[in-house]
Structure 1
Amino acid sequence: MHDALIIGGGPAGLQAALTLGRMHRTAVLVDSGRYRNSTVEHAHNFLTHDGRAPEEIRRLAREDIAAYDTVELREATVAEVREEGEGFVAETDAGPIRAKTLVLATGLVDDLPDVPGLAEAWGREVAACPFCHGHELAGRTIALLGDGPHVPMQTAMLAPIGSEIVHLGLDEVTKVERTEDGVLLHRADGEPVAAAGVFTHPAFRQAAPFPEQLGLAMLPSGCVRIDALGQTSHPRVFAGGDLAHVEQLPMPMASLLLAAAAGQAAAASLVRFLAGEAVASGGPVGPR
C-alpha cells in the first residue's frame, strides 16, 4: 500500500508529488491527460514560467519529479475511489491502486454560455482571468461578456490595460468570430463589435465525482471545503487546486501558481498526518 495517491496531473497534483518525493513518501500520481487549461497556448503570471506553454510546464515538472524514486506517475483514468480498511482503493483503467491517504487535484470544468464560436475562442481570445490574460491586450479594445456584480470591478481592473472597455450582455451576442486581430462579437441588433480579447465568467463544476463518492463537505461554490493546509472533512483526504478552497473565499482563485502552492500545502499536511499516526501508534519515527 502506498503512502499517498494523487489524482490529477495539473500544477497542484504535480507539486504535491514533488513534495511527497522530497519527504521520501511512496506516492502514485494518476494523470488522465485532461486539463482545465487545455486550450490555453501560453501561461502567465507564474514566476519563471511567464509566457510558457502549460504543456511545457507539465513536462518540466515531470522531469523534476522523476528524480525521486518513491513517486510514480501513471497515465490512467480513475473511475471510482472508495475507502477500504485504513486507506483507499482507486479503480483505474490500468488496475486498482491502494493508498493510505489521498490528494485530490482533479480541478473543475467550465460550462461556457451557449454562444456560437465562444468555445473555439475559449482560452485564446476569450478568457476568465485578467491577471492571466489581460496584459497581452494592452492598448486595445477589451470586451466583457455577460452580466453580474463582477462587471464594474472587472471594468475598473482592466481600465489601465485596455484603450476601451466594452460591456455586452450575453443576450446581445449571437456569435463570436475569431479574426487575425482578435474577435468580432456579432449582435442581433447592431454592428459587430471588434475586440482584441474578451473576458467572461462561465459557470463551473467538479471535473470528477470523487468528492461526492467520498462524502466530502462542500461549499456553496460547489467546491470542496478545505482548511488552510488543504485537509478536507475526511482526515485522510487532502485537496489542492481549483476543486477546493477555504470557506473564507467565495470561490477558488484560479491560478497555476496558487494551485501549485495549494498542492504543496496539501502534501505537507498529509506528511504531517502520517507522521502523527506513527507517533501515536508507537511505531518507528527515526531513521529506517
Structure 2
Amino acid sequence: MTDRPMNDGYDVVIVGGGAAGLSGALTLARARRSVLVIDAGAPRNTPAEGVRGLPALDGIAPTEYLARVRAEVRGYGAHVVDGEVEAVGRTGDGFAVTSADGRTVRARRLLVTSGLVDELPNVPGLRDRWGRDVLHCPYCHGWEIRDRAVGVLGCGPLSVHQALLLRQWSADVTFFAHTVPPTDEEAEQLAARGIRVVAGTVASLEVAGDRLVGVRSADGTVVERAVLVVAPRMVARAGFLTGLGLWPVEHPSGAGEHIPCDPGGATDVAGVWVAGNVADPSAQVGAAAAAGAAAAIRINADLVAEETRRAVAARRDPFSAEHEARVCASVLGDRRHGL
C-alpha cells in the first residue's frame, strides 16, 4: 500500500477504487462511516478514450473521472490508498485485510469492487489494438464506430448476439466464425440481417499506419475491416476472497466468472458485499456506480442494526455498557483522525 497515514481499523474497507468502489465510499463517508479504499490501479477501461453513456459526464477520460471521484471521497474524510489486497480473513466479528506489502487493517464490513480481467482470444495483434479499434461493447463504442466496416469475432457464447447488435450501428457487419461457428438458426438470423459470415479461423489482424485495416483468415484471405468486436472471457478479480470461502463461479450468461450476490450486493459470507464488474460483468460505469451506492446503503443499515443491538444490550447490562462506551470512543477517535 501507499505510505499515506491509515488507521488500524475501519467501519468498512473497500477493495477496488473504480466507479463501484468510489461510489460506495462516497455514500458511506457521507453516512459518517470510517472508510478505507484500497485500489490496485488497474481499471478495466484504461485503454478507452472516454467513458460513454454516463449522464453529464459523457466522454470524460477514465483517469479524469476517477480523479474527480477520489477527490470527492477524500473530501468527506475517507482514506483512498494505492495497493493490492493479497488476502482477507476473519478476525473476531470482522475482517483482517492484508496487502501485498504485508500491511494489515481491520474492517467491520467488507465491500469488494475489484472488477474483472478481460481474457482475450489468442489472435496475434488483438491485445495491442484493445480499446482502440478492437472493442467489445456496442453501448460503449457503437456510436463512435457507426457506419464503419465492422467485424465480429466468433469466440464465445455472446458473439452472434454481438453481431446482431452491431447491425444497429452499421450496415456493413461481417461475422468471422473463428472458434464459434453459428448454428443453422443463427446463420439464418445473420443472413436475414445482411451480415456476412466468413468460415474458418482468424490468423491475425492487418494493421497499417497504427490502425486496423483488415482481418486475415488462416487460409490467407484478408477481409477489409476498420473495427473488430470480440467477446472476451470476463474473470472476476477475487482470488483474495478464497480465505473466506468465496470463489468465483460461472456467470449465467456463459461470458465468464463472477461472485454471486443478492440484489443488494450481499454475498453468502456475512459481512461481505460485492458491486460492479466483480458481480456483474456487463455493468457499465453508471450501473457499477449505482450498485456500489446500493451496497453501501445496505452495509450502513447492517452496521446500524448491529450498533442498535449492542446499545440495547448495554442498556440492560452496565458492564456491557462500559465496554460499549470504550468501543464507541475508539471508533470516534478513528474518525477524528481521518484524512
Taking structure 1 as the reference length, what is the TM-score of the superposition?
Answer: 0.90
- Match of 1:140? 148
1:274 aligned counterpart, secondary structure? helix
- Match of 2:103? 95
Which of 122, 130, 154 is 2:138 aligned to?
130
2:101 matches 1:72: no
Divergent runs of 4+, >4 A: none
- Cα RMSD (Å): 2.2
2:113 matches 1:83: no
2:22 aligned counterpart, secondary structure? helix
2:118 aligned counterpart, secondary structure? strand
- Match of 1:106? 114
The answer to whether the 8 A contact 1:217-1:232 is kept is no
Q: What is the CA-CA distance between 1:184 and the residue it aligns to?
A: 1.8
Cα distance in 1 for residues equivalent to 2:244 and 2:308:
27
Cα distance in 2 for residues equivalent to 1:213 and 1:105:
17
Structure 1 pair 157–218 and aligned structure 2 pair: CA distance change class (3 A): same
Structure 1 pair 212–94 and aligned structure 2 pair: CA distance change class (3 A): closer
Identity among equivalent positions (%) equals 34
Structure 1 pair 94–113 and aligned structure 2 pair: CA distance change class (3 A): same
Cα distance in 1 for residues equivalent to 2:310 and 2:204:
63
Runs of 5+ consecutive residues of structure 1 not aligned to the other structure: 246-251
2:207 matches 1:200: no
Q: Which has the higher Rg, Structure 1 or Structure 2?
A: 2
Question: What amino acid maps onto 1:225 in structure 2?
Answer: P
Runs of 5+ consecutive residues of structure 2 not aligned to the other structure: 1-8, 179-199, 252-256, 315-331, 333-339
1:81-135 deviation line (CA, Å, top 9, x unaligned): 1110011111112621111000001111111111100000111111211100111
Cα distance in 1 for residues equivalent to 2:22 and 2:289:
8
- Match of 2:173? 165
- Match of 2:327? none
1:210-253 deviation line (CA, Å, top 9, x unaligned): 332211265432211111111111120011011114xxxxxx32
Question: What amino acid maps onto 1:144 in structure 2?
Answer: V
Taking structure 2 as the reference length, what is the TM-score of the superposition?
Answer: 0.77
Cα distance in 2 for residues equivalent to 1:21 and 1:12:
14
The answer to whether the 8 A contact 2:121-2:155 is kept is no
The answer to whether the 8 A contact 2:88-2:241 is kept is no
Q: What is the CA-CA distance between 1:190 and the residue it aligns to?
A: 4.5
The answer to whether the 8 A contact 1:76-1:94 is kept is no
Cα distance in 1 for residues equivalent to 2:41 and 2:213:
29
Aligned length: 280
